[in-house]
Structures are given as structure tokens and as C-alpha cells.
Amino acid sequence: MSATPSEGVIKFKYNLKWTAPLEESSYIKIEKWRTILFKMNFIGEYLTEQVGYGNLSCRQNQTGNSFIITGTQTGKHPNLDGSQYTKVQKCDLAKMSVDAIGPIAPSSESLTHFAIYKESPQINCVFHVHHPDLWRYMLDHDYDQTPENIDYGTHEMAAAAKICIGNKKKGIFVMAGHQDGIIAYASSAEEAGKVILDTLKESKTN
């Protein structure tokens, strides 16, 4: 299981074409949910290690796998603007490489987001959050999960995520080898956010 201090460290090679901040229209739907999830401590920063956690993305259009994602190490901010989002244009899972365009390097989980989008054209939003209580609940109640020996931000994690979603268009899984890590996915930001909140509600009633 990965130790907390390694959170947020980019493990892939990336090429970033620097641009001006992104237009609000490209990220406003996920920013709404990011604000909610930040207030609920699903997104934030581990204060001792000063490393952020949690990243959200949405597919840019229905005809490709490019997507808008929160930038690396932005977890500590309660609100983000266009200077803290970036666009991932292409990923190569085998080469562990990411091509992005924007004002900030992409999240350390960009490969996993890409793998999910590539696996299912019906999935348009991916929310990666952290919550220790919900993480333990999901592990204890046999939710879909990635293997404990697979760390975040790797080719192996991307492959494991694809197995977790299978043919599902909406759902949630727990990252057994990534402390507190949970991923929800759906066709829209509203649905992805609701999956998280519904699972949290279920955990509190069981």
C-alpha cells in the first residue's frame, strides 16, 4: 500500500504546451462538484506532507478521449480557476506518457482517467477522491477494487481501473493499494457526484 507522502507525485512523462488559463465554460461543471467535495474533505491536502489529494475530470467532447482535468497539486485550494485546470489531449499507457495543453501540469492520476474514458465512450466524468472512512467501508463490503499491490498513477492502475468498470456506464470502485483512494465515474458530473454521496450515505446507515 502506498504511503501518504507519495500522494500527488507525477509518475509518468508529460509534454505540456503552455497556454493562457482555460475558459470557464470548459471546467465549470466539474468545478461545481469540486467545491462541494472540497467542503466535505473528499479533496484537500495532507498538511504534514503538504501534498494534495483528489482530482476531477470530464471528457471534452463525445468523439474523442481528450479531457479537462484539475492540475497537479491543486488539492489545497477551496476553489479553482482556469489557471488550475488543464486539457489532456493524448495518453500512451504503454509508454507512460501524457500530452497536455494548458497553464499547469496535469494531475498525477491522468493515466487512470484516460484509461476509463478509453474503455467506455458512455463515461464522460471521472472523480478521484479520498475519504478514509468510506475507503475502509468499501473494502470491507466487497465493492469493486483494484489490487492492493498496485499503486496510483501507474500503467497497472490504469489497467486495473478498466477491469473494475467492465461494461458499466456508472459506478464507483476503491483503490486498495492507494490509501483512502476512491474513483467514481458516470456520464455526467451530476451523476458522478451523486454516486459518491449515495455511497457515503449508504456507509453511514450500515
Q: What is the mean pLDDT of residues 134-162?
A: 90
Largest Cα–Cα separation, the chain = 48
| pLDDT at position 7 over 70 | no
pLDDT confidence of 6, banded at 50, 70, 90? very low
Calculate the alpha carbon distances from 154 to 39, 95, 96 in Å: 28, 11, 8
- In DSSP terms, 102 is beta-bridged to 18
Q: What is the mean pLDDT of residues 141-150?
A: 93
This prediction has a pTM of 0.91
| pLDDT at position 79 over 50 | yes
CA distance 191 to 129: 15
Between these two residues, 70 and 61, which has the higher pLDDT value?
70
pLDDT at 108: 80
